[in-house]
Structure 1
């Protein structure tokens, strides 16, 4: 594509985040721009999430408190950011033995997981395990987003190269 060319593309993650971006190609082959909406194009069949998730052993891993619960990801802007730092996570929700509903985020390839039980005060009890503790990255990006005043997705900048893309939250 020539410098100055416009790209309109949908960014979608496995956590079901969505955003439409408008990028302008630079002289250096890097396209930059921002989200124009939280909507997206209809997903293609091959983009469908894996239907059969294998739940981890819920007694494995380490339990701790977190300031970021699953409810924080109800905002599409936070969800897009979480998807950008933990792109292999897939999400499911359920209840075990009549307990309160929990959210599970699972990376089937690495075996990493986090089970999140929100608390009434907005915090959460999490149990995470596997080789990649991705929830820490989710906590960090959601905290940065909150500190920036919870901007809408249209305030995010996007930088795309041949190797991938980066989403930048305004300060």
Structure 2
């Protein structure tokens, strides 16, 4: 979703590394191997399970919120479509075959989701937990890298 940060990590004797993001809404041009996969044919956005959204797609206009959202759905791409006289905000994970489409009517948001994962439910849960912890700035997040992968955490108040 193109919200990125730069981290300064310290490598420890055991080969792990940890540190914090530097903040500042840093953006990078992606290298070819980092490019998202082509969208291909979009799923049928009229299908799927529909329910009221607790969080609107407009929340993703904020850099920090979008960064936290992509922690919950890291392979998700975001597009906007004008369809049937309304704007649909579509999140799609091409590899998993999961998608979410959000629309706004009179200030209320609705989400329709399909595929094996409920992308928007995961994003809402992650963003709401971050907000419950006071929505700390990204430079307070901790990054830990090990041979088995990496984790990103934020302080709990």
Q: Judge which range, 51-60 or 153-162, deviates more.
A: 51-60
With the length of structure 2 as denominator, give the TM-score of the two structures. Answer: 0.87
In the other structure, the counterpart of 2:140 is: 155
Q: Is 1:133 equivalent to 2:114 in the alignment? A: no
Q: Which runs of 5+ in 2 are unaligned?
A: none
Q: 1:29 aligns with which of 6, 10, 15?
A: 15
Post-superposition Cα deviations, 1:27-59, rounded to whole Å, max 9, x if no partner, equal 332211110022044322332334544221112
What is the Cα deviation at residue 112 of structure 1? 0.8
Contact 1:76 1:153 in 2 (8 A): no
Aligned 8 A contact 1:54 1:108 in 2: no
- The unaligned stretches of length 5 or more in structure 1 are 1-14
SS at match of 1:18: coil
Give 1:117 deviation, angstroms.
Answer: 1.6
**Contact in 2 for aligned 1:81/1:167 (Cα 8 Å):** no
Residue 102 in structure 1 maps to residue 88 in structure 2: yes
Q: Do structure 1's residue 117 and structure 2's residue 103 form an aligned pair?
A: yes
For residue 162 of structure 1, report the CA deviation from its aligned partner.
Answer: 2.2
**What residue is the counterpart of 2:45 in the other structure?**
58
| Distance (whole Å) between structure 2 residues aligned to residue 107 and residue 144 of structure 1 | 22
Partner of 1:20: 6
TM-align CA RMSD: 1.8
CA deviation digits over 1:82-106, x for unaligned, max 9? 212212211110110212x111011
* Whole-Å separation in 2 of the counterparts to 1:106 and 1:97: 20
* Cα distance, 1:108–1:42 mapped onto 2, change above 3 Å: closer
